[in-house]
Homo-oligomer: A and B are copies of this chain.
Amino acid sequence: METMKFKEILKKRNLKATQNRLGLLEAISAFKTAMPYSELQKTLNYMDRVTLYRTIDKLKEQGVIHKAFQENNETFYAICGEKCSSDTHHHDHIHFKCIKCKAVTCENMDKALKISLPDYEIHKVAINVSGVCGVCLV
């Protein structure tokens, strides 16, 4: 329970600390890795479908959470500054999705890894890797 921390974050962004918003933040937090929308819906089934959409939009808009990842038609959300230390979202990092446990984790991009495309002005880089994670490999 990091309720207090979340209340502070919301206050800092001039957002009311409602049950729904705290619930959403705690759900993502408890999920450990980036949380797919469908999971959010399951976990937060006490709140209206519309409210969930609007809550996500608002928190995203205010930089409290962000779209971490997208696969097929499923969007994964994460709390800003927790999994992906930055709230500008222009960070370059690698998302790893385990095909066994489905967990999505963020790994820092190796310093050695530099993308160079001549003739292109690069703004954003998204690297999504899938495979089997350390835990599931055993």
A residues lining the B interface (CB < 8 Å)? 70-73, 94, 96, 99, 107, 110, 113-117, 119-134, 137
Complexed CA–CA distance, A71 and B126 (Å): 11
Copies of this chain, tallied across the complex: 2
Partner of A130, one of B124, B127, B133: B124
Judged by DSSP, the binding face of A is strand
Across the interface, which residues of B come within 8 angstroms of A71, CB to CB? 70
The minimal Cβ–Cβ distance linking A101 to chain B, given in whole angstroms, is 12
Partner of A122, one of B110, B113, B124, B129: B129
B127:A125 contact, CB within 8 angstroms: yes
Across the interface, which residues of B come within 8 angstroms of A126, CB to CB? 126-129
Across the interface, which residues of B come within 8 angstroms of A73, CB to CB? 73
A120:B99 contact, CB within 8 angstroms: no
- Assuming the contacts A72-B70, A73-B73, A113-B113, asked whether A119 and B134 have C-beta atoms less than 8 A apart, the reply is yes
